[in-house]
Structure 1
Amino acid sequence: RTRFNRANDRPYRPNQNRMGVLTVMKFHAKNIMRDFVRNRHRSKLALFLILSLGLTACGEIEAPTASSLQKATLLPATGQVVNDAPKPANIKAYAASRFLDQASFGPNAAAVAEVQSIGYASWIDRQLSLPPTQIDGSPLLAWTDNNRLTKEQGDLNHNFNNLEMSRAFVGASDQLRLRTTWALSNFIVVSQNKVEPYGVTEYFNMLQRQSLGNFGDLIYEIIRNPAMGRFLDNSENRKQGACKDCFLNENFGRELMQLFTVGVFMLNKDGSNKKDSSGKPIETYSQVDVQDITRALTGWRNDNKHIKKGPNENHPNWGAFDRRMIADWPEGHDEGAKTVLGLKIPAGQSADQDARSVVDILLKHPNTAPFVAYRLIQSLVTSDPSPAYVARISAVFED
């Protein structure tokens, strides 16, 4: 599918900007853990992602014991913990390069020099302080003001996001945030096959604003995002029978559980499947859960107010993609009681209150931490993380 988040959409980087990497390197675990302790007030997702950046040469980081954190350095390829972590000035070029290969979209000479000068933890601090890069999608609005495109405009329109995102991945300063946005977009997906290019632009901008924030806040934004509402049809999800053409649309509710948060099968903390007495995987949710989460997510529509409407009011005018969906028609929301994943949502709540209840339920579910941990580790560190590694990151997520 034509979507910005495919792995092979990562931009080409010329060879002169790539640095050689040795198979064994030292990783300054003390600095990273100190950064974690010092910044516990930061959002959980940011800390979770920092700890998931196992900067290894051929695999993953093995965490040091608590007693060794103050003086430990890790040899990630072997899992061996050694004393006397190097000063920032002693970080070798290949170690800095490997760090940047996983914490950014790749090293160049200037970035390697920066890491060598200030160290891993200070580099992360500096990255966390940078504002999110945002793509200006106004050219797309100008091209489609009258819903008519010349052939040249159509070509530019189709390729706009690939070009602008590639520029950001290669040239923007907030590399840690961009790499995290890309990692999230690998499983929290929208597609330009269905969503208009301006919607994809604004979806990217939303991920950028949320990618180093709290995961619950991200899911709440996803629920109200017009591009996601278009892609998975929640903008057309209304209380059954509220009007002649009002029907439940289960697409988003199902995918919110299956692809974004809890997955299909119950998981142990290490990401492995839980099994029943006969050795079969245990399903996470039932069709009743799908129906009730869908009912909880009814009543949202695109904010087309004060702008020219397109031919179908259920499909947002391009200008509506930069505004959250709204729930201003109470009759379109099912206010009845629901039960989702074993937890009750009381009757009488508004669409927004039900959405917040859904977020709380998903965050409390034991699957969410290992499910999200596994996918982010795959995008940031290694495609085949060990169960112990997933369990450690899951614990950080739940902290």
Structure 2
Amino acid sequence: TDSHFDWMVANGYATVDHRNDFGGLDNTIWRKLLTAPDTLRQRVVLALTEIFVISTNGLPIAWRGFAVAAYLDMLERRAFGTYRDLLEAVSLSNGMGAYLNMRGNLKEDPKTGRVPDENYAREVMQLLSIGLYQLNADGSVKLDAGGKPLETYTQTNITDLARVLTGWDADSASAT
């Protein structure tokens, strides 16, 4: 079946009237959920959108509906792939980059006091990978000698990952 992005183009949503809205997005999502022959893949994509969340509200970019459509298409292509490939694709997607402030994230500048935005780095550590606390094999939280949960990462880890996640941006030279 057509990708969400291609369906929106083919059905007239790639017009300036829809530059700042989500016209057609609900239609293509429901179209796929109800009629695509790969039902399991569509359900996995739906589940992935609950984990790798971007919102249709507050995306600070033009053509938001198309950004979300492209994001859904990316999740669909990687629904049965490796977690590493999925996390990389999510990290490099325009939608996630805009939603969690990674797109255009600048490196540290000691002269001005600028530091990289840590929002996406924190999300990767806390929600998309290792979580807040170390776990035992049975899923229970590991505790230290004092009975406190053992954390999986430190603020330094977040700061270091934020430094790695700088320098990516969208090529908007031809955007209208």
TM-score (norm 1): 0.39
Number of the residue aligned with 1:187: 51
Q: Closer, same or farther in 2 for the Cα pair 1:268/1:133, shift >3 Å? A: farther
Q: Percent identity?
A: 33
Residue equivalent to 2:175:
308
Select the residue among 167, 184, 201 that pairs with 2:69: 201
Q: Deviations over 1:6-65 (max 9, x none)?
A: xxxxxxxxxxxxxxxxxxxxxxxxxxxxxxxxxxxxxxxxxxxxxxxxxxxxxxxxxxxx
State the one-letter code of the partner of 2:3: Q
In structure 1, the partner of 2:120 is: 252
Aligned length: 168
CA separation of 1:161/1:242 partners in 2, compared to 1, >3 Å: closer, same or farther?
A: farther
How far off its partner does 1:174 sit? Answer: 0.9
Gaps of 5+ in 1: 1-131, 310-399
Instruction: Give the SS at the match of 1:283.
Output: coil
- Deviations, residues 82-127 of structure 1 (Å, cap 9, x unaligned): xxxxxxxxxxxxxxxxxxxxxxxxxxxxxxxxxxxxxxxxxxxxxx
SS at match of 2:51: coil
Q: Aligned letter for 2:33?
A: F
Structure 1 residues 185 and 243: alpha-carbon distance in aligned structure 2, compared to 1, 3 A threshold: farther
Alignment-derived partner of residue 163 in structure 1: 27
In structure 2, relative to structure 1, the CA distance for the partners of 1:205 and 1:242 (3 Å cut) is farther
The C-alpha deviation readout for 1:107-159, integer Å capped at 9, x for no partner, is: xxxxxxxxxxxxxxxxxxxxxxxxx762123243x322xxxx3xxx589x435
* Offset, 1:268: 2.1
SS in 1 for 2:89: helix
Shift of 1:289: 0.7
Moved over 6 A (4+): 242-245
CA RMSD, 1 decimal: 2.4
- Name the structure 2 match of 1:223: 91
Q: Quick one: structure 1 residues 133 and 183, their matched pair in 2 at CA, closer, same or farther if it must change by over 3 Å? A: farther
Structure 1 counterpart SS, 2:24: helix
